[in-house]
Chains A and B, each alone.
Chain A
């Protein structure tokens, strides 16, 4: 089955740039979505279709996808960005949605 690999944790100081990667075999050929989940809350979509932002999501959130790595980039990180972030794709070979294991973003 298709696997998505994320680092368990990423730490960044306020105002800096956070990059959260999602690795998968030829993931660049797939469409990647990213969700943010804060403690005790349901997930919220922050990037869809590799690099698009839903309405209401700040421009500080952006995405890219190429080769074997997709990346969620958060610029000018704020304390409120501290959350778990999940990448997600559709595995058409098995008709499954696949989630990465999640990355906990800590704002120092």
Chain B
């Protein structure tokens, strides 16, 4: 079914930038749309962004559109999230997620998450 490992989370200053990575294994990465989902401390899940299998389509939540950019490198089985103009409200655990099957929006595989803290 697959395995996902996120990295890149750190403490960043408001207005700063950060790039998260997600390494995929155990499945044909290039076949799947991939997603980023975040969870602020003590709060619920919030969908952030998705990218289609061929990078032809990208979508963002209203809260990050224009500041975050999702990308992928199928040759490296990797997903990325470039985060610019960071705000304190971006503080969260960031998960990458894989659908349970092609064409589905049910997240069958999640990574363990990487923590982003935005603070001065």
Q: Does A62 contact B (CB under 8 A)?
A: no
Chain B residues, Cβ within 8 Å of A101? 44
Q: Does A79 contact B (CB under 8 A)?
A: no
Knowing A48-B100, A54-B100, the reply to whether A99 touches B107 (Cβ < 8 A) is: no
Task: Please tell me if the beta carbons of B45 and A43 are within 8 angstroms of each other in the complex.
Answer: yes
Q: Does B72 contact A (CB under 8 A)?
A: no
Chain A residues, Cβ within 8 Å of B46? 99
User: Among residues 82 to 101 in chain A, which have CB atoms less than 8 Å away from a CB atom of chain B?
Assistant: 84, 86, 88-90, 95-101
Chain B residues, Cβ within 8 Å of A108? none
Task: Please tell me if the beta carbons of A42 and B112 are within 8 angstroms of each other in the complex.
Answer: yes
Chain A interface mostly helix, strand, loop or mixed?
Answer: strand
Q: Could you say which of B44, B47, B59, B108 contacts A45, with CB atoms under 8 Å apart?
A: B108
Chain B residues, Cβ within 8 Å of A37? 45
Knowing A33-B107, A98-B47, the reply to whether A45 touches B62 (Cβ < 8 A) is: no
Task: Please tell me if the beta carbons of B111 and A33 are within 8 angstroms of each other in the complex.
Answer: no
Count chain A residues whose beta carbon lies closer than 8 angstroms to a beta carbon of B: 25
Please measure, in the bound complex, the distance between the C-alpha atom of A43 and the C-alpha atom of B35, giving whole angstroms: 14
Chain B residues, Cβ within 8 Å of A23? none
Chain B contact residues, CB within 8 Å of chain A: 35, 37, 44-47, 50, 59, 61-62, 95, 100, 104-108, 110-113
Pairs A–B under 8 Å by Cβ, sample size 27: A1-B62, A31-B105, A33-B106, A35-B107, A42-B110, A42-B111, A42-B113, A43-B45, A43-B107, A45-B100, A54-B100, A86-B45, A88-B45, A88-B105, A88-B107, A89-B105, A96-B47, A96-B59, A96-B61, A97-B47, A97-B50, A97-B105, A98-B47, A99-B37, A99-B45, A99-B47, A102-B45
